[in-house]
Structure 1
Amino acid sequence: MILYNTTYSLAAEVGPDWVSWMQKFYLPAVLATRLPVGHRMLRLLTEIDNGGLTYSVQLDFNDMTDYTSFLELHADTMQKRLQHRFGGQFVSFDTLLEEL
């Protein structure tokens, strides 16, 4: 199992709208690609109080082939949608993990 994690840091005032949009639009669009086999969205509880919020969005893939297909076919479009909706209000970084 391959886990593709994206960590997002955003301004606190944008948090509720961002969470709602991710749950109603972004994640359903990602799952509609039929490449991820699972997902979760989490809020980081142990962060330095910088006035913002940190979330993790994790997508599960059966193997590297499915993950690579997602990146090649869909990741740019999904990122553009997120940037269009919340551009300048968040920063993010990705982590790729393998379940042992």
Structure 2
Amino acid sequence: MIIYNVTVNVDNSIHDEWLEWMKTEHIPQVLGTGKFEKATLSQVLVEEELGGITYSIQYRSYSRAALDAYYKDDADKLRNEGLKKFADKMVAFRTELQIVDEYSVKFN
């Protein structure tokens, strides 16, 4: 499985509007493409030098092919919606993570 991670630093002046948009519009739209099984929205607790508030959104893709299809069919349109809405008040970068193994604690 591949995790498509989007890290976004959001200016305080648009934070509340951006967060609401992410929760109610953007993340549901990305999941609505059918290329991801779930998303996790997390706040990064390390303070950035540039200020603002930073979030990580991790989308779990069904496969490499599904992620590639997202890039081809959906990514530009969905990214541009955020850029139009929030312009220079946010900065984002994207990474891909390959899950190697997962572990959990088992209680008796």
Query: Is TM > 0.5 for Structure 1 vs Structure 2?
Result: yes
Supply the distance in 2 between the matched residues of 1:23 and 1:49 (Cα, whole angstroms): 26
What's the CA shift string for 1:2-49, capped at 9, x where partnerless?
000011112112111111001111011111111111101111112246
Gaps of 5+ in 2: 101-108
Instruction: Map 1:43-54 onto structure 2 (within 5 A).
Output: 43-48=43-48, 50-54=50-54
How far off its partner does 1:58 sit? Answer: 1.1
| Structure with bigger gyration radius | 2
Partner-residue secondary structure (3-state), 1:91: strand
Alignment-mate amino acid for residue 20 of structure 1: E
Segments of structure 1 that go 5 or more residues without pairing to the other structure are none
Give runs of aligned pairs for residues 1-100 of structure 1, distance below 5 A.
Answer: 1-48=1-48, 50-100=50-100
| C-alpha distance in 2 between matches for 1:64 and 1:82 | 24
Taking structure 2 as the reference length, the TM-score comes to 0.87
More RCO (CA 8 Å, sep 6+): 1
1:50, CA displacement in angstroms?
4.1
Q: What is the count of residue pairs matched by the alignment?
A: 100
Superposition CA RMSD, Å = 1.1
Cα 1:48–1:86 shift into 2, 3 Å:
closer
Structure 1-normalised TM-score?
Answer: 0.94
Spell out, residue by residue over 1:53-97, the C-alpha distance to the aligned partner (whole angstroms, 9 max, x if none).
101111101210000000100000000111111111111111100
Deviates more, 1:8-17 or 1:63-72: 8-17
**Amino acid in the other structure paired with 1:19:** L
**SS of the counterpart of 1:58?**
strand
Task: Tell me the SS of whatever aligns to 1:69.
Answer: helix
